[in-house]
A and B are shown apart, each in its own frame.
Chain A
């Protein structure tokens, strides 16, 4: 998507737009509000915008196209062909037929342009937004990935008299003919199709095209437009008025900043161009203020040529400055931030050591934190972070199950088969579900191999997940509301969520929807729009959640859960947990929904480890570590990565008709962090379980209920130890554990970004990681793990 942004707006993608901060509402999720050549074309109003192809464009430009068919993969095919044309060589044998096919399509289109009269002024642009990589956006590492092709095709371009040779010999660095910046496409299209250049453009009109305009003055005008527009961007970015008036000569003699130097140099082209504007050679409709100001001057071709060169030089310089402007680092602030982060590490470490006893139990957490910190300095490990979490999670759960073996009375093979195997196999499935990261992006995973080719299987699993959630939801409300109300309400809610998902998938990926789902589920709710469906789910969830909160507070008012556990089997807090599950399912990609079944299995294992009878059970620290590992592992398992391009926006607009920063932000967050938030909820419920267990033990410890022998002694000793330990609530320990990791990881990521700020991959690997780190530490840690979980734990412990 950042590349599409470069192509359409002409700006340098991803980070600079944040820096420039030219008044635009939403800078990340949609380009509809930005000034792009699509917007300019639409504004020109001389035709209709039609889009066929990759529906990414439809998501990026909602409401821009007059007519669109976003389902076919034509554009995708064109796109990949364009890349191949750029590569110019056949990298893999199976690409050859595809290249031939695309050649055929191109020739078909070109022939149509040549022969059909209504197509005669067609400009056919063939380009790739990124290079030859299965992954799509790779971090600018190899020339093949950063050198996509750009081809302008039109019979009218014959007038350029280029006569280029083809095919060219193979080039290692994929540089053929001439090279332009990706952002140069926007001003070039603007010039060729005759509309204003997008506001934030930093591209430079491709020089080869200038000779299409026979009049030299027209060429000069186009360049001047381009320069004028970039100058506006620079003024806005630098926040100075350097371009407005004439600069004093002395400040130009020794410019204090790059901007000033650029401004001084701007006076050169500006003056020469203005002086060169000759009235008799001008179209009156192009009249610029300068024309009236400037007297008529003789025009010579050499002059104009010189002017063009000067302007081009200036434009390139400006482009370079603006693309590199973010490398003016304010080191004192970076160091201040780093010191703050280190202080946070020290404080959280001392607090954690105070909270957790024995301190020895923190060893795994420290190992994880330190290994993670070291990893943040290597770009490959940042790109392939999921491997760290997968391996750590498998090892940790391998340890937990192996430890369980010591305890259980079952024989070794039985334990292996019944506990260790299901747990480790679940983690293995989790790992293979979505191939993420950069190195092997696009290689087969479970979704590609088994889910997408077998939609029936997918819907079986999805149905099972919804059914299971329904069962748990009903169970959690059992005894709280009467069965005749409980069943219909919960069934209605789950069905609404399920039909929304089915309807959404029908729009999003119709090939995944099987006939059964279409006919039986969607037909009886036919006619409802996606927005209405989503709103129904959200409102339903909100109402039931409010009821659940009401029950919790009411039960607190009546002095806790007085009714027998047989009548009210589940803790009130679990109602909220299962309601969140429905929200998470709603905000997840359909192919990811079965993952929640796996989560449930792992959750069940952790829960049973807490129930373990003797001293071998899961401690709070261990639960915290498990939760941390599963939060990260589930994020990557659901397709997340440290690349900006992997942010999933497909569910960001569920039930939202107008863009709203907060709503879309929350929906995007839940859409991408559905798994981690699910685990935060699950952990709170498990923490509540530990807390109640400890409370029970405390009661046992204080009252003598006639247990005999070592068992009683042991429990009493444990309870006594707990009393002496100052009654630290398990939630505090959990927060200590997660805070320590968060502090260490933030400090490490900051240090890595600071130290490696001149690294080749700083914008493509480390900076996106930093943004993700912000999301993990502010969103997942502060808001979810501390705020939301704290609230839930408080509600649960009332």
Chain B
């Protein structure tokens, strides 16, 4: 098993993973890691393979919230569903800060932040490292804020991706954009929080080579769910909820929650 190169290793998730594994019962023990990492010289490619699944913090609060928040999100969605069907834009807009708060809480309490110094290693900041180098990374709140900034930067691109996959372009602009914002907040925000702008980690995520965990599972679930959300639209049932983008949002939420829970439990650490 190729292991962490302490120099090229840039993602704190890698470190966190390693740390987390000391508490969890997985294949390698910290001891063996330490010896292997000292003997192995990891190439650039091996740093990709070493992306570790994100482990949820072991605090009781984190363990509670990790299950409470999906339930709360589901409840919120079900509670607002009728309103969403009748009035998609204001409902999605109003729900955005609530969902943002949920995701923020989740990230701060449950997830390891990007650039958070690993408890064991005193690594030097990389020269190419941006934003999370130095002392900024020590503050998880700043990481969370940066992650939300990144999420909002990425939202227009997600919007365009949705348009490319068939979302209406000339009409329903705010519908699609808000849907993209929700999707980004659900799926990308935790990943930004965990990985920052680490290109190696994002390459692994983008190439679907990252191991499944709550964040990556949520991404895959959310994207697949949103994709499948397009399926009921052409049916001639003439239901109100078939209107754009209710099914997409529904699929995104359902897929995200399912992917997050399954990625964090049943399929944790597995790869495609």
Contacts and interface: CB of A to CB of B under 8 A. Distances in A.
B165 A391 contact: yes
B207 A406 contact: yes
A402 B165 contact: no
A398 B202 CA distance: 17
Interface in A376-435: 378-381, 383-384, 387, 390-391, 394-395, 398, 402, 405-406, 412, 421, 424-425, 427-428, 431-432
A428 B230 contact: no
A256 interface: no
A362 to B, nearest CB: 18
A437 interface: yes
Interface string B184-210: 000000000000000100110011000
Contacts of A141: 236
A439 interface: yes
A391 B230 contact: yes
A290 interface: no
Contacts of A728: none
B157 to A, nearest CB: 9
Contacts of B230: 387, 391
A428 B164 contact: yes
Contacts of B163: 428
A412 B206 contact: yes
Contact of A394 (B164, B169, B202): B164
A445 to B, nearest CB: 10
A402 B234 contact: no
Contacts of B206: 402, 405, 412
Contacts of A387: 166, 230, 233-234
Nearest to B234: A384
A378 B235 contact: yes
Nearest to B160: A421
Interface in B58-111: none
B104 to A, nearest CB: 27
Contacts of A437: 234
B175 to A, nearest CB: 16
B207 A383 contact: no
A449 interface: yes
Contacts of B233: 387
B267 interface: no
B166 A424 contact: no
Contacts of A425: 164
B166 A428 contact: yes
B227 interface: yes
B266 interface: no
Interface residues of B, number: 18
A383 B230 CA distance: 16
Interface string B4-42: 000000000000000000000000000000000000000
Contacts of A449: 170
A402 B207 contact: yes
Contacts of B202: 412
A287 B238 CA distance: 58
Given A391-B230, A425-B164, A428-B163, A405 B170 contact: no
B165 A394 contact: yes
Nearest to A443: B171
Interface in A279-326: none
B166 A394 contact: yes
Nearest to A403: B207
A412 B197 CA distance: 13
B234 A431 contact: no
A381 B234 contact: yes
B128 to A, nearest CB: 13
A444 B172 CA distance: 14
A154 to B, nearest CB: 40
Contacts of A431: 166
Nearest to A444: B170
Contacts of B164: 394, 421, 424-425, 427-428
A395 B236 contact: no
B236 A390 contact: no
Given A405-B206, A412-B206, A449-B170, A395 B227 contact: yes
Contact of B166 (A390, A405, A444): A390
B265 to A, nearest CB: 26
Interface in A511-532: none
Interface in B231-263: 233-237
Nearest to B157: A416
Nearest to A431: B166
Interface in B151-187: 163-166, 169-170
A211 B155 CA distance: 72
Contacts of B166: 387, 390-391, 394, 428, 431
Contacts of A395: 165, 227
Contacts of B203: 412
A387 B230 CA distance: 9
B80 to A, nearest CB: 27
A428 B166 CA distance: 6
Contacts of A394: 164-166
A225 B41 CA distance: 99
- Which has the most chain B C-beta neighbours within 10 Å: A141, A395, A439? A439
Interface string B131-160: 000000000000000000000000000000
Contacts of B227: 391, 395
- Which has the most chain A C-beta neighbours within 10 Å: B166, B170, B202, B203? B166
Contacts of A439: 234, 236
A432 B187 CA distance: 28
Given A387-B230, A391-B230, A412-B206, A380 B236 contact: yes
Contacts of A428: 163-166, 169
B233 to A, nearest CB: 8
Given A391-B230, A449-B170, A398 B165 contact: yes
B186 to A, nearest CB: 20
A570 B2 CA distance: 47
Interface in A116-159: 141
Nearest to B207: A406
B236 A379 contact: yes
A701 to B, nearest CB: 27
A437 B235 CA distance: 12
Contact of A405 (B165, B199, B207): B207
A380 B165 contact: no
A421 B164 CA distance: 8
Contacts of B207: 402, 405-406
A141 B230 CA distance: 23
Nearest to A390: B166
A421 B230 CA distance: 21
A7 B166 CA distance: 39
A425 B206 CA distance: 20
Contacts of B199: 412
Interface in A555-596: none
A151 B236 CA distance: 31
B48 to A, nearest CB: 10
A428 B233 CA distance: 18
Contacts of A383: 234, 236
B159 to A, nearest CB: 13
A384 B199 CA distance: 41
Contacts of A380: 234-237
Contacts of B169: 428, 432
A437 B166 CA distance: 15
Q: Which 6 A-B pairs have the closest CB atoms?
A: A384-B234, A424-B164, A380-B236, A380-B235, A428-B164, A394-B165
9 contacts: A380-B235, A380-B237, A383-B234, A383-B236, A391-B227, A394-B166, A402-B207, A412-B202, A425-B164
Given A390-B166, A398-B165, 15 more contacts: A141-B236, A380-B234, A380-B237, A383-B236, A387-B230, A387-B234, A391-B166, A394-B164, A395-B227, A402-B206, A428-B164, A428-B165, A428-B169, A431-B166, A444-B170
Interface of A: 141, 378-381, 383-384, 387, 390-391, 394-395, 398, 402, 405-406, 412, 421, 424-425, 427-428, 431-432, 437, 439, 444, 449
